[in-house]
Amino acid sequence: MSTPRQSAHVTDRRTLIADTAIGLVAATGLRGLTHRAVDGAAGLPAGSTSYYFRTRTALIGACYQRLADLDLGDLDLGDLDGESPSAPPVPDREAAAVALAGLLHRWLTVGRERQLARFELSLEAARNPALEADFLRAGQGPRARAAGILAALGSDRPEEAAELLVAWTDGLLYDRLAGALARSRVAPDPAELASVARQMIDAALAHGG
């Protein structure tokens, strides 16, 4: 039986490997994602990555889950659902729009590399049926959080509204990070993002109202 310290060590090592793999994908694309490359970039002994994730498919699945966990962590930091001790239990549209704009700004700036890796890795799930279950499971958390927020804002069909909001958010991120005009755009403007966020939330609520 493993001890708590051993379990924490395994968790830390798996997290390190997933984080390193995500960084490699952001920097080099999927062509650079190998067990040996992760070992080297993470400063681990040769064979470490393959010990924890025997196949490339398992390694990519770990990346999906880690990306989802990080995105959910950002949602908590953004207090998008208004559940901090000092906030009202039910958010209003303006507070939700400001929080969403803050998340978009974060993902377009300090979280840029992570989002690029997420888009790169998502394409692999479309090509590899063995990854579908991991990809679906990782995507359920953010969608469930969005549905909860939209339900609190008054949506009668929050799951449908959440699908739209997530799709629009992903579309905006992709356009700003990898679209044809991505390199020529000026730095993300918080005020512009707040305006866009208001429109997305209003439209999602109108659809699911």
Closest by CA position to 38, among listed 21, 13, 58: 21
Q: Give how far the C-alpha of residue 121 lies from the chain's centroid of Cα atoms, to the nearest Å.
A: 11
pLDDT at position 77: 58
Side chain identity, residue 199: Q
What's the pLDDT score for residue 80? 52
Residues with Cβ < 8 Å from 185, sequence gap 6 or more?
176
pLDDT of residue 19: 97
Query: What pLDDT tens digit does each residue of the chain (209 aa) get?
Result: 444 454 556 679 999 999 999 999 999 999 999 999 999 999 999 999 999 999 999 999 999 999 999 998 888 755 554 444 334 444 699 999 999 999 999 999 999 999 999 999 999 999 999 999 999 999 998 899 999 999 999 999 999 999 999 999 999 999 999 999 898 888 889 999 999 999 999 999 998 66
- Which of 60, 36, 62 has the alpha carbon at shortest distance from 49? 36
Structural domains present in the chain:
4-207 (1.10.357.10)
- Tell me the whole-structure pTM to 2 decimals: 0.84
